[in-house]
Chain A
Amino acid sequence: MKIKLLFAALFFLAQQGMAQEWLVPDDQKNVQNPSEYNLDNVKKGKEIYLRDCKSCHGDPGKNNGLPLVPPPPDFTSDIMQANTDGELFYKITHGRGGMPQFETTISEDDRWRLVNYIRNFNPENEPVLVEEPPKKAKILASVNEEARQVEVFAEYQDKDSNYVVLAETPISIGAKKAFGTLPIGQVLTNEEGRAEYHIPESLIGDEQGMVTLVIDLGEGFITDDVVLDAAKVGQPKPTPKLIQKDVLWSTNENIQVWLLLSYLAAVLGAWGTIGYVVFQIFKISRAGKKQ
């Protein structure tokens, strides 16, 4: 009896103090994952992860998620892996508390691909996507304003610590904006580790059309991003002068003439009349002296 009570109390405390168990309806638990566990799907899942989940759940295996309560579990953790496929899918779909729902933002197929990505970290599975340890790399880049093009040369450090050209590797080009880097495109390096990227005509720069380009090698390499000096390769940013439009509430320089005239007429009318009345007061005073 006593032991039963103790258990009940413990259970109660556990419920209050720790994260409550996240129950998934029985019929959802054992839904089979319709998408195949293969490299393509896992890769796609990773892309979505980087875009939509990493900000909270952190880097897989590093337990560096956001400090929320309850915390977003690491994707490699036991908590995560203890879920059935159906449970994972359900939780991603509906969310709870700090975990947002993705029912409306990620397609069903992609949600299943996320499940595949999570499974890539399951010790019982043969991982299909193996991340190599990142290599050290160097990028040289310059921008040619006339040709509107970026020239890139990349090398990486091989096993013997020698720098060799980095061939057939995607290089991301971005433009620095107020709130971060705007990705504008990718190029593959050629056999000599070189690449040329044509800046799209439609890229918008600052008021003068200046753009600060950022060159990045992406995952798998350790480099400093190359930030080029601002170059005149974009369209000048249109800066609409709202206050100069033909609006009633404009500045004095752009005031509508009829508005100014009405104002001045009203003021002159009122104060002219006041002046007239004050003049009457003088006349009253003068009329007093007559008799």
Chain B
Amino acid sequence: MEKTKSPEESRKLLDKITFDLTRSIVKRDELTHFWYFILIMFAGVGLWGWGIQIRDGLGVTGMRDYVSWGMYIANFVFFVAISLIGFLISSSLHLLKIKWSHPISRVAEQVAIAGVALAGIIIVNDMGRPDRFLNVFLHGRFASPIIWDVTVVTTYLTISVLLYYIPLIPDLALIRDRGGDDIPKWKMQVYKILALGWNGNAEQYKLVYHAMRVLMILIIPVGLSIHTVTSWLFAATLRSGWDTTIFGPYFVAGAFVAGAAAVVILMYAYRVRYKLGEYFENLHFDYMGKLLVFVCLVYLYFNINEFWVPAYKMKTAEGIHLRNLFVGSFAPMFWWTQMTGLIIPIFLMLFKFFRKPLPLAIISVFILIASWLKRYIIVIPTLEHPFLPVQNVPEHFKHYSPTSIEIMITIFSFAAALLIITVLAKMFPVITIWEYAEEKGVNKEILSEPKK
């Protein structure tokens, strides 16, 4: 934290910070409209595909008796994965008192909310009879990882929303009090309501800090469970490729890789689009790059364990599965994900140049794509090799390839996730203003001063 500034300086600084960080809320140009148009169009097309799927049933997908989990579940795991970054950055790093990560917290929370919300929706996408969704709760088996997963996804979503909202309250009051005249009236109205009559007294700050702290601690076990339980959906079976004990930490490590990449991409987008170069500084990208290297190395370590140990033994079924990944039909995808999702990025990010904003954002795009493919590789090849021989079935039962409906619905999920993030960024500042200002030496009293 910097030295407390004089009231005069503080006011000037706070005005500047507020001005910069509300730019995303105020800004509304051609590109904004175009971006909304694109997202809504893709989401709409996907919803239309979903309509067809609900009308005609899951037969419109490529899923059949053997491969009964396809792109949807791979996509589900991906979204759960990216959502986990919220817990790493806005809770773990916070609790460890790592200062540089503070401005990134809200971005991470955006990713978390969008990711876990979509994860929930994708599960419903994967249901042949979504109207029976409630049966999961009414008739669920408490001993089933699926019930645990549903439980933990909803819990994590709730906590993420709270963890997004509570630090936002002082910001809302701040904009309510000193926001520029260019902020639309209805938004101001929303801020007024959501600010809950915040006036910045000591008791309120105490409550905010307390609630945040409770949430940050609570989110650690919940965050760890969400992806561990997701991994158990696979690991609790006997199937080759899934029947392993390291799936929990393997998934968690992989999730950090995917999520950190998503956060870097968002940071870069905000930095460029909302001219936040002074807030998402080179330093932040540098640290995020280092964090990425670290989580990638952990993930690489788990990957080596995950493949090397069974490959050493090549047990019958496991051997078929591994050969299929290493040299068989999934080999191109497998090596692509390992190279562009882990090995090359690790190597590149060791150099300072590649931890600069643009190169890091580009690397992150590759990592994110590889992360998605990686989930595909975890789900589908195993299902294509059941233990019983595949016989007397039509040819298209033997191999899975997603149909256009599945691809449409998957694109819907991406569009919807981006839409959630966009709306959040357009509604609320992407960095916690009061926290940031305080760290720059602005006094709390100044924060709650109404506009002159």
Contacts and interface: CB of A to CB of B under 8 A. Distances in A.
A184 interface: no
Interface string A239-251: 0000000001111
Given A252-B143, A273-B218, A284-B196, 19 more contacts: A255-B142, A259-B143, A260-B143, A263-B148, A263-B151, A271-B155, A276-B214, A277-B162, A277-B166, A280-B166, A281-B166, A283-B207, A284-B169, A287-B201, A287-B204, A288-B197, A288-B198, A288-B199, A290-B201
A263 B142 contact: yes
A219 B162 CA distance: 82
A159 interface: no
A284 B158 contact: no
A289 B222 CA distance: 34
Contacts, number: 80
Contacts of B236: 249
A194 B214 CA distance: 89
Nearest to A248: B143
Interface residues of B, number: 32
Contacts of A266: 225
A287 B211 contact: no
A8 interface: no
A284 B144 contact: no
A285 B158 CA distance: 20
A256 B225 CA distance: 20
Given A273-B218, A274-B155, A284-B208, A291 B199 contact: yes
Contacts of A267: 151, 155
21 contacts: A248-B143, A251-B143, A255-B141, A255-B142, A260-B143, A263-B148, A263-B151, A266-B225, A267-B151, A267-B155, A270-B221, A276-B214, A281-B211, A284-B198, A284-B207, A285-B196, A285-B197, A287-B207, A288-B197, A288-B201, A291-B201
Nearest to A267: B151
Interface in A224-274: 248-252, 255-256, 259-260, 263, 266-267, 270-271, 273-274
A289 B197 contact: yes
A273 B210 CA distance: 12
B215 interface: yes
A249 B142 contact: no
B203 interface: yes
A277 B215 contact: yes
Interface string B143-175: 110011001000100110010011001000000
Interface of A: 248-252, 255-256, 259-260, 263, 266-267, 270-271, 273-274, 276-278, 280-281, 283-285, 287-291
B203 A290 contact: yes
B164 to A, nearest CB: 12
Contacts of A283: 207
Nearest to B169: A284
Contacts of B201: 287-288, 290-291
Contact of A288 (B204, B210, B211): B204
Nearest to B162: A277
Nearest to A249: B143
A277 B162 CA distance: 8
A267 to B, nearest CB: 6
B222 A287 contact: no
A197 B405 CA distance: 64
Nearest to B202: A287
A270 B215 CA distance: 10
**For the complex of A and B, 5 pairs with smallest distance between CB atoms:** A288-B197, A285-B196, A280-B211, A287-B203, A287-B204
Contacts of A291: 199, 201
Contacts of B143: 248-252, 255-256, 259-260
Nearest to A253: B141
A259 B203 CA distance: 41
Of A248, A251, A277, the most chain B CB neighbours within 10 A belong to A277
B142 A284 contact: no
Contacts of A252: 141-143
Contacts of B155: 267, 270-271, 274
Contacts of A274: 155, 158-159, 162, 218
Of A248, A252, A287, the most chain B CB neighbours within 10 A belong to A287
Interface string B205-228: 001101100110010011001000
A260 B198 contact: no
Contacts of B207: 280, 283-284, 287
Interface string B103-130: 0000000000000000000000000000
A283 B141 CA distance: 37
B144 A249 contact: yes
Contacts of A270: 155, 159, 218, 221-222
A277 B158 CA distance: 11
Contacts of B208: 284
Nearest to B155: A270
A241 to B, nearest CB: 16
Contacts of B210: 280
Contacts of B204: 284, 287-288
Contacts of B162: 274, 277-278
Contacts of A284: 169, 196, 198, 204, 207-208, 211
Interface string B410-450: 00000000000000000000000000000000000000000
A250 B144 CA distance: 8
Nearest to A276: B214
A44 B159 CA distance: 78
Contacts of A281: 165-166, 196, 211
Given A277-B211, A287-B201, A251 B196 contact: no
Contacts of A288: 196-199, 201, 204
Nearest to B197: A288
Contacts of A251: 141, 143
A34 to B, nearest CB: 39
Nearest to A289: B197
A289 B26 CA distance: 30
A287 B155 CA distance: 27
A75 B51 CA distance: 61
A169 to B, nearest CB: 40
Contacts of B199: 288, 291
A283 B209 CA distance: 13
